[in-house]
A = this chain, B = another copy of it.
Amino acid sequence: MITIYAYDWVPGFAKGMVRDYRVRWALEECGLAYQVKTISHTHKLTDEWKSKQPFCQIPVYEEGDLTLFESGAIVQHIAEKGDILLSADPVAREQAKGWIFSALNTVEPPIAQMVATTIMYRKEDWYKGAMTAQEIMIRDRLAHLANYLNGREWLVGAFSAADLLMASVLRQLDSTDWVKSDSVLGPYQKRCLSRPAYRKAIEGQMADFTGSAPPH
């Protein structure tokens, strides 16, 4: 049995965004059965949790003897089980894995940084200058991505784990119109997020928020 761990509560801005939904989405696409166990923000700081996830984060994936963390690694692991999220063709398969890294190591870092800066440092006097610099970097990456995707339905051949992760990365820009208003990226993002498996993943995460906020 596959088990994934998620939070039992998060603040409003994080609802539907915590990275366990990326793993749920992959499992739903592949039709694999799984159970969800939830943990609290108090528990994530314990040594017991650190033995599963050294950076005190979510999600964790368990399957027999294997305990795995990092949503990107987990999605890749699920995808490698068959040919639903990665092509059976060895070249297309490796290229899609390349795009997994592209999503997470080239496109996501400046976006995640901007999100973190917004949450933590919105009131600092250096906030506006840093955000402008970040926007320049993000828009540069988006322009290259749009240039590549122009005329393509998916990143490599059919919908793959790479599209799943790229769309998850782009979602973090939903408060801007940088993706939505782009004639290539907007429709691409819509194609990804209209998949039933994506909706089930988000609904699953929302339904599991049955805990309460940590004490202050």
Contacts and interface: CB of A to CB of B under 8 A. Distances in A.
Contacts of A125: 126, 129
A2 interface: no
Contact of A70 (B56, B69, B102, B113): B102
Given A69-B102, A76-B97, A133 B148 contact: no
A: contact size bracket? 35 or more
A163 interface: no
Interface stretch (A35-43, A103-111, A199-207, A208-216): A103-111
A174 interface: no
Given A56-B144, A104-B101, A65 B77 contact: no
B105 A108 contact: yes
Interface stretch (A4-12, A24-32, A114-122, A190-198): A114-122
B95 A68 contact: yes
